[in-house]
Structure 1
């Protein structure tokens, strides 16, 4: 089974580039190596990190931590998905 972990945060005013670099650095040093990692950005200094794992849906998988409070505007959003179709 393929499980995808989603991590999304919105940077504090003027700190979008810093949050993007923070996420890149943390994604490179996870406790285990995912099958795939993708990092995206969006307007309003949002950063999205997706990691793909060959694991059970409820497996204990390493996730990006919460950044320091001054770097983000709100708590990180996290979701777990199961891959059902690839085109």
Structure 2
């Protein structure tokens, strides 16, 4: 089974690049099947990690960035893959 962890944070205005660099530099104690990092308007950063695990497995997640870098607590969601389609 594939589980995807979603981590999303919103930087203090003007600090989006700093938050993006911080998120990309974070190492996890084990390697996911895949890790993808995104940026969006309003200085948002999104990191998705895919794991071969059960939905309730204890999996490593990115930590909270320093409080001075973000406008609110990180949002986290966990998804279970149900379908994969090519192009």
TM range (shorter): over 0.9
Alignment of 1:1-87 (within 5 A): 1-26=1-26, 29-87=27-85
**RMSD after superposition:** 0.4
The Cα shift of 1:13 comes to 1.4
- Structure 1 stretches of 4+ moved >6 Å: none
**Which one has the bigger helix percentage?**
1
Unmatched 5+ stretches in structure 1: none
Q: Which residues of structure 2 form unaligned runs of 5+?
A: none
Report the count of equivalent residues: 85
| CA deviation vs aligned residue, 1:22-76 (integer Å, no higher than 9, x gap) | 00001xx101100000000100000000000000100000000000100000000
